Structures are given as C-alpha cells and as structure tokens.
C-alpha cells in the first residue's frame, strides 16, 4: 500500500520505535498522523513533525492506551479531521521483568511472579494493541458500508495495514514470562485478523524487533546490555529505532509480505 496521503495512528509515539516510525512515515509523505502516548512530550514530537512538514497534519493525543473511551476519541477525532485511518502501529508497551518463580533463600519459600504485574503487562502489550487494531478495521468496515461496498476486491488495492510490534522475546526469554506471553499472543491475533480483516481490504502483520536502542531497553542497565545483549547480537550493537521504523514502512508498502518479519539483528537467547 502506498503510504503517500494516507492517515496513520501510532501509539507509544513519544519515544523509541513509535517516534521513529512517525518520522519515517513523514519521509513517505503520509497525509496525517495521530501520535498517542501517556507522556506529555508527545505534544513536542507533534510540533517537531509539523515544523518539518510545514503543515498541521500531526496531532498529539495524551492518554492511556488501555482506556476504551480514550481510544475511541482518538479514532473518531482523527477520522473527522483527516479521514478514515489506513495505518495503525500500536507500539506502546511496558515490561515488568522478574523470574517466574524465585526462592527466598532466607525463608525457603518460592515467590511466584505477581499476577497483578502479569495482568497489567498483558493489558498494555496484548489487549490494547489488538483493540487499537480492531478500531481501524471497524472504521474501514463502516466506511465501506456507507458507500455500498461489500467484500474487498484485489483491484481496489489494499485499504489499510496494521503492524503489531512483537519482540524476539516471543521465542522465550529468561525473566520475561509476562512480556514474552504478550508478544507471542500478538502472533495469534495477527494471523486471525489477517483472515478476517482482508474482507475489508486490511492487512495485519507483526514485526519482531531485537534489542533496540529505546528507553525501555536502556532501563535494563548498561551492564546487562553489555554482558547479555550485545554478545548475543551478530551486529555487535543495539538496533537503531530508525532501522525498525524502516522495516515497519516496508511491511506497510509491500503487500506480498504477510505474517511476521524478524528484525532481530541475529539475536538469540544466550544459554543460562
């Protein structure tokens, strides 16, 4: 699908992969972008992009991506001001890393990973991205119905693309029981949506980045990165966010690519 002139929504857009994806979409002459993040810095990012573009085509929305009312407001406002949303990149995510079971050596008791942390990670990393994607599909379905269009035909060209942000942790990674579960869950969601949403001309894909130079990865600590990440990465460095953003745009533009794209820089979990 040609990116030029299309309308996009990106969550987690104030930093990392989300911000890089917004900048990359601008290079491809995107028509309009809604930037979504909990951080108030999302407004500065929107101002920066509008200044680069010379037009007021980027809007910032500050809020919680797990909030249904907020999600619907973002989609409704974007549709009203710019038209039906064609691209959704739900990039917002969190980690709450800890071993699944760990023995307290003083008391001899095994501590299980807190269920409230598990639920919170899945809410942000799995459920929220799926429902942001469903919102795009719903808009597209309504738009087609309003003009009497039924099942999509290939001659129309792809009408929309969803790119979920997975992770190499979907392969399993020590200390990431909740994060890995959420990311592998996106694979099932994408596979199902690809079968359903093509009725309306919408493709759904997953990109699995390796360890990327984002605030989330940097929060792991420089020692951990140096000792456990870099040695297991073939390119010998963290992936740059703009490299993942370029791959996201590739997934949007190339309709022959379906399913999953691994942008892992050759990273594999190290033996324990």
Q: Is the pLDDT of residue 214 over 80?
A: yes
Instruction: Please indicate, yes or no, if residue 270 is contained in any of the structural domains.
Output: no
Q: What is the structure's pLDDT at 259?
A: 82
Q: What is the pLDDT of residue 271?
A: 60
SS3 of 165, please?
strand
- Residue 57: per-residue pLDDT: 95
Residue 269 domain-assigned (yes or no):
no
Taking the CA of residue 169 as centre, how many other CA atoms within 13 Å lie in the half-sphere pointing to its CB? 23
pLDDT of residue 191: 95
Residue 112: helix, strand or coil by DSSP? strand
Prediction pTM value: 0.93
**Is 54 part of a structural domain of the chain?**
yes
Q: How confident is residue 269, by pLDDT bands cut at 50, 70 and 90?
A: low
Cβ distance 200 to 138 under 8 Å?
no
Residue showing tokens 């870099």: 230
Q: What is the pLDDT of residues 166-175, one digit of tens each?
A: 999 898 888 8
Question: Is residue 1 domain-resident?
Answer: no
Two structure tokens written together for 219: 């929060």
User: In this predicted structure, what is the pLDDT of residue 215?
Assistant: 83
At 272 the pLDDT is 58
Residue 244 has pLDDT above 80, yes or no: yes
Cα separation, 90 vs 122, in Å, equals 14
Q: Is residue 211 part of a domain?
A: yes
- Domain count within the chain: 1
List residues bridging with 176 in a β-sheet.
98
- Please compute, for residue 81, the number of CA atoms within 13 A of its CA located in the half-sphere on the CB side: 18
DSSP secondary-structure letter at 43? H
Q: Cα torsion for 234, 236, 241, 244, to the nearest 10°?
A: -10
Whether residue 2 is contained in a domain is answered as: no
Taking the C-alpha atoms of residue 89 and residue 111, their distance in angstroms, rounded to an integer, is 36
- pLDDT mean across residues, the chain: 93
Burial 20-46 (b: 16+ CB within 10 A, else e): bbbbbbbeeebbbbbbbbeeeebbebb
Q: Which of 123, 159, 96, 179 is nearest to 151 (CA)?
A: 159
Domain holding 100, by residue range, is 7-263
CATH number of the domain bearing residue 204: 3.40.50.720
In the predicted structure, residue 246 carries a pLDDT above the cut 70 = yes
112-135 per-position pLDDT tens digit: 999 999 999 999 999 999 999 999
* Domain contains 227: yes
Domain assignment of residue 194, yes or no: yes
């Amino acid at each position: 699908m040609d990116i030029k002139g299309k309308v996009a929504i990106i969550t987690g857009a104030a930093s990392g992969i989300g911000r890089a994806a917004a900048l990359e979409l601008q290079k491809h002459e995107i028509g309009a972008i809604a930037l979504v993040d909990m951080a108030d810095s999302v407004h500065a990012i929107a101002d920066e992009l509008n200044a680069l573009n010379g037009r007021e085509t980027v809007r910032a929305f500050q809020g919680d991506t797990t909030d249904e009312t907020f999600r619907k407001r973002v989609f409704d406002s974007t549709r009203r001001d710019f038209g039906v949303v064609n691209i959704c990149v739900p990039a917002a995510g969190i980690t709450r890393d800890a071993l699944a079971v760990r023995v307290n050596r003083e008391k001899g008791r095994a501590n299980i990973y807190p269920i409230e942390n598990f639920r919170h990670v899945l809410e942000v990393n799995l459920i929220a991205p799926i429902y942001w994607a469903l919102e795009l599909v719903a808009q597209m379905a309504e738009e087609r119905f309003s003009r009497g269009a039924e099942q999509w035909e290939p001659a129309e060209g792809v009408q929309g693309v969803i790119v979920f942000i997975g992770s190499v942790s979907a392969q399993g990674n020590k200390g990431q029981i909740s994060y890995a579960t959420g990311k592998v869950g996106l694979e099932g969601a994408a596979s199902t949506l690809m079968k359903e949403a093509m009725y309306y001309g919408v493709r759904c894909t997953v990109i699995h980045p390796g360890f990327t130079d984002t605030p989330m990865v940097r929060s792991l600590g420089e020692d951990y990165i140096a000792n456990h990440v870099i040695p297991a990465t073939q390119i010998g460095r963290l992936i740059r966010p703009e490299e993942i953003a370029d791959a996201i745009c590739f997934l949007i533009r190339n309709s022959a690519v379906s399913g999953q794209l691994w942008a892992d820089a050759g990273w594999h979990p190290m033996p324990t």
